[in-house]
């Protein structure tokens, strides 16, 4: 993937494996940046490292440095378009399956262990041996990822959450084994003592299997929900790459042959029938048509193309038959370049520094040190090894971060569940912090503020002409055309005038409109130039209506029959009824709305005026690549930017923005690149989404606060011998219940009326 062999810095992107928290990314980044001439950014969310390095450093050396830190690294597959391209989901599914199996195993086995330990009525004669039988697979098999990660971290002189979980569960389990086989806990009929404090010499009759099994189950649940939220992290790029055509009809030696798009070469000529996607970037050599490029450019009006005009891969041929000569294929196409933009924007984001992981960098070694100090203190004052070890285990158990593991996923699950009921999807905890900071929201026009579909908006008739006649005759003729604007006229005419007659004659006039005979009338529908070719002019009032329509950014269509101009139709991408109210709600949240579009300024300002956005906050005539630049420019001005869009052309900008909101009515690429998805396609949901995300973030922070508060309050008690490990286990369980209960309050969130 390196592109330079000179002394100038080269760049490489590495796929990183084995990271379990944001602190892992920080460790890798720190190791890489210690290498001379290397500048690295490691993104935990995308599991990639973007590295700039001098000529003296090689890619194998970079990979070796990552592996020496305890993780894996490799160069990702090259960018390809077409079927099967992009990062797949099979590998992620395979990674989730063993985690899910461990979670199910731990829950099924841990529940009866906890129940027997906490409810004396369930403690039958040999209950402790049943608890051991059930807890052993939990601590060994289910908790194996924690033990493995802790061992790897220890080899490299590091300690993480995995270290604390592994040490705590192992200590509780090993002590229980000692108490059962060498102490008095294995005596038939033994009941679990429930003492608040530790007596000198006490401990040989206590077992802590419920703490070992319960902690494992709780943490696995948190890890599983986190993994699910990251499951589709690479799906945006895949959706973008797979947007292109999968196969194509090439014309060779006068014969048509169907081949995979990947076999196309520059100079090949290929056929594009009406309704088909254009396979790759090229130049039209035969035919004329209207090309729907809205998926890539955001333009609401299809573009007329003829011989000599350039076309872009993945756009749709909406009209006639075209023969195109390929000019760019594979990684050189506009679609592939946009895919790289999305990838670069995603990898350019700072790694999510979660509060729990930041604190764990200090919390974990402090707890281990406190446990060792507790052990030494109790041994030093002559209390005996049993009491000393019991107190140390109590410290480790009370500090086990089960509530920390649940703080984010439970709030996220409840918040996303409530959001789904309201048409809002929150991708993960990484995006929530941005919702608190955003002060500017960029609204893509097409499909976001507007419907994204051409609609008949108005009919202007000449004196003495009945509107119903205009709709019936023009609609009948347009119904026979496949052009998107014609279909909008036909749909509008049918809605207003009912069933349409069948034309007795029909002809398409490329680039101008259509003509034919309807109910004995010679009818023309199209541009004013079409009427001019038949020596007809628009009357003054229709001319003024046409001028006003075009000034407002709408498409004006002239209608004539029997030698006279009869009407002007206005067709445009209609503004959604709810967009104005949505803009008002966004302002109420302290956000500045900015309208962004690839359309001309007249169209943009007309739409902005309708929804209440000032002309100064309109950015028009923006190409897809420039949308990313606009977001970057706003960020460079010190703004925290949210972006709302729905097209493939918005995907890179959504990824670049501090907060991306994708309309659910849009493309998969845009949806997956966004941080929040508005399923209903209603812009009002953007305000609700930001409110819900902010509320969810607040819940996560309060969960984390209380999770740590329990630890901070209980650690001194445990170290002083005032907290039996049984109480520690109960406090651990209660802290988790508290966190879950706090998260469930999000179910009461309501959308604004």
Report the alpha-carbon distance of residue 597 to residue 620 in Å, rounded. 5
Residues 6+ apart with CB under 8 A from 547: none
Find out whether 565 and 461 touch, Cβ atoms under 8 Å: no
From the candidates 162, 202, 444, 682, give the one annotated as an active-site residue: 444
- Residue 550's Cβ-count burial label (10 Å; 0-12, 13-18, 19+) is middle
Residue whose entry in the numeric block shows the structure tokens 């399956």: 97
Report the alpha-carbon distance of residue 300 to residue 606 in Å, rounded. 14
465: its two tokens: 């002409």
Region of 298 (left: φ > 0; alpha: ψ -120 to 50; beta: rest) is left
The DSSP string of 145-156 is HHHHHHHHHHHT
Is 444 marked active-site? Answer: yes
Would strands 247-252 and 269-272 be described as parallel, antiparallel, or unpaired?
antiparallel
CB count within 10 Å of CB 649 equals 27
Report the alpha-carbon distance of residue 278 to residue 499 in Å, rounded. 34
Expressed in angstroms, the distance from the first to the final Cα of the chain is 52
Residues 6+ apart with CB under 8 A from 712: none
Query: In 3D, which of 20, 736, 43, 742 has the Cα closest to residue 412?
Result: 742
Find out whether 623 and 289 touch, Cβ atoms under 8 Å: no
660: its two tokens: 């991306």
722 three-state secondary structure: coil
- DSSP 8-class letter at 47: T
Find out whether 448 and 689 touch, Cβ atoms under 8 Å: no
Report the alpha-carbon distance of residue 2 to residue 12 in Å, rounded. 6
Find out whether 103 and 221 touch, Cβ atoms under 8 Å: yes
Report the alpha-carbon distance of residue 627 to residue 632 in Å, rounded. 9
The DSSP string of 186-252 is TSTT------SSPPTT--TT---HHHHHHHHHHHHHHHHHHHHHTTTTTHHHHHHHTTS-SEEEEEE
Find out whether 147 and 166 touch, Cβ atoms under 8 Å: yes
Residues 6+ apart with CB under 8 A from 648: 240, 243, 295, 296, 314, 338, 667, 669, 670
Would strands 592-596 and 440-444 be described as parallel, antiparallel, or unpaired?
parallel
Count of positions (residues) in the chain: 753
CB count within 10 Å of CB 512 equals 18
Report the alpha-carbon distance of residue 353 to residue 144 in Å, rounded. 25
Report the alpha-carbon distance of residue 29 to residue 22 in Å, rounded. 11
Report the alpha-carbon distance of residue 1 to residue 58 in Å, rounded. 12
Measured N-to-C along each axis, helices 624-636 and 648-656 cross at an angle, to the nearest 10 degrees, of: 20
Report the alpha-carbon distance of residue 574 to residue 446 in Å, rounded. 9
Report the alpha-carbon distance of residue 491 to residue 481 in Å, rounded. 12
Find out whether 310 and 297 touch, Cβ atoms under 8 Å: no
Catalytic positions: 444
């Amino acid at each position: 993937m390196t592109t330079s062999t000179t002394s100038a810095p080269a760049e490489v992107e590495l796929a990183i494996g084995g990271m379990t928290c944001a602190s892992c990314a920080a460790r890798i980044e720190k190791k890489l940046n210690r290498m001379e001439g290397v500048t690295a950014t490691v993104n935990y969310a995308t599991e990639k490292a973007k590295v700039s390095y001098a000529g003296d450093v090689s890619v194998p050396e970079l990979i070796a440095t990552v592996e020496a830190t305890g993780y894996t690294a490799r160069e990702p597959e090259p960018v390809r378009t077409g079927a099967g391209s992009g990062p797949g989901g099979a590998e992620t599914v395979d990674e989730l399956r063993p985690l899910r199996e461990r979670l199910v195993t731990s829950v099924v086995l841990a529940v009866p262990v906890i129940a027997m330990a906490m409810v004396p009525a369930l403690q039958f004669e040999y209950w402790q041996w049943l608890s051991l039988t059930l807890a052993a697979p939990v601590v060994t098999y289910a908790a194996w990822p924690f033990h493995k990660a802790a061992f790897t971290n220890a080899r490299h002189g590091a300690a993480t959450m995995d270290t604390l979980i592994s040490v705590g569960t192992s200590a509780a389990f090993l002590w229980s084994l000692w108490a059962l086989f060498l102490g008095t806990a294995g005596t038939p009929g033994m009941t679990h003592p429930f003492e608040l404090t530790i007596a000198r010499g006490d401990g040989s009759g206590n077992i802590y299997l419920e703490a070992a099994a319960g902690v494992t189950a709780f943490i696995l649940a948190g890890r599983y929900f986190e993994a699910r939220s990251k499951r589709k992290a690479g799906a945006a790029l895949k959706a973008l790459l797979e947007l292109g055509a999968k196969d194509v009809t090439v014309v060779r030696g006068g014969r048509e042959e169907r081949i995979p798009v990947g076999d196309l070469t520059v100079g090949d000529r290929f056929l594009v029938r009406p309704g088909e996607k254009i396979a790759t970037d090229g130049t039209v050599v035969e035919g004329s048509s209207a090309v729907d490029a809205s998926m890539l450019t955001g333009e609401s009006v299809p573009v007329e193309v003829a011989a000599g005009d350039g076309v872009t891969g993945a756009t749709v041929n909406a009209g006639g038959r075209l023969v195109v000569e390929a000019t760019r294929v594979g990684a050189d196409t506009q679609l592939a370049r946009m895919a790289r933009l999305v990838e670069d924007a995603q990898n350019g984001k700072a790694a999510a520094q979660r509060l729990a992981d930041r604190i764990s960098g200090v919390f974990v070694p402090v707890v281990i040190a406190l446990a060792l100090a507790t052990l030494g203190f109790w041994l030093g004052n002559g209390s005996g090894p049993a009491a000393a070890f019991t107190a140390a285990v109590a410290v480790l158990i009370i500090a086990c971060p089960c509530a920390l593991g649940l703080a984010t996923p439970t709030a996220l699950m409840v918040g996303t569940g409530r959001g789904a009921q309201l048409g809002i999807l929150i991708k993960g905890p990484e995006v929530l912090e941005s919702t608190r900071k955003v002060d500017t929201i960029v609204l893509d026009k097409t499909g976001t503020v507007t419907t994204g579909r051409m609609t008949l908006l108005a009919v202007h008739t000449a004196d003495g002409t009945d509107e119903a006649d205009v709709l019936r005759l023009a609609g009948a003729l347009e119904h026979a055309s496949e052009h998107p604007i014609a279909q909008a006229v036909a749909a509008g005419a049918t809605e207003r005038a009912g069933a349409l007659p069948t034309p007795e004659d029909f002809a398409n006039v490329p680039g101008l409109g259509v003509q034919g005979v309807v109910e004995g009338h010679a009818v023309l529908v199209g541009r004013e130039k079409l009427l001019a070719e038949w020596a007809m002019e628009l009357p003054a009032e229709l001319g003024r209506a046409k001028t006003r329509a075009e000034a407002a950014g709408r498409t004006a269509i002239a209608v004539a029959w029997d030698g006279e101009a009869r009407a002007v139709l206005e067709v445009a991408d209609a503004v959604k009824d709810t967009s104005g109210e949505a803009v008002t709600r966004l302002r109420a949240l302290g956000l500045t709305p900015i309208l962004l579009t690839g359309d001309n300024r007249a169209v943009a300002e007309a739409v902005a005026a309708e929804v209440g956005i000032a002309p100064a906050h309109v950015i028009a005539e923006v190409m897809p690549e420039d949308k990313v630049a606009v977001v970057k420019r706003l960020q460079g001005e010190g703004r925290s930017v949210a972006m709302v869009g729905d097209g493939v052309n918005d995907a890179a900008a959504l990824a670049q923005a501090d907060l991306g909101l994708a309309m659910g009515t849009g493309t998969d690429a845009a949806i997956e690149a966004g941080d929040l998805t508005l399923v209903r396609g209603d812009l009002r949901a953007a305000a609700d989404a930001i409110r819900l995300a902010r509320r969810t973030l607040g819940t996560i922070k309060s969960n984390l606060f209380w999770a740590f508060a329990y630890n901070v309050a209980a650690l001194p008690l445990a170290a002083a011998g005032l907290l039996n490990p049984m109480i520690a286990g109960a406090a651990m369980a209660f802290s988790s219940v508290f966190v879950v209960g706090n998260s469930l309050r999000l179910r009461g969130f309501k959308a604004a009326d």
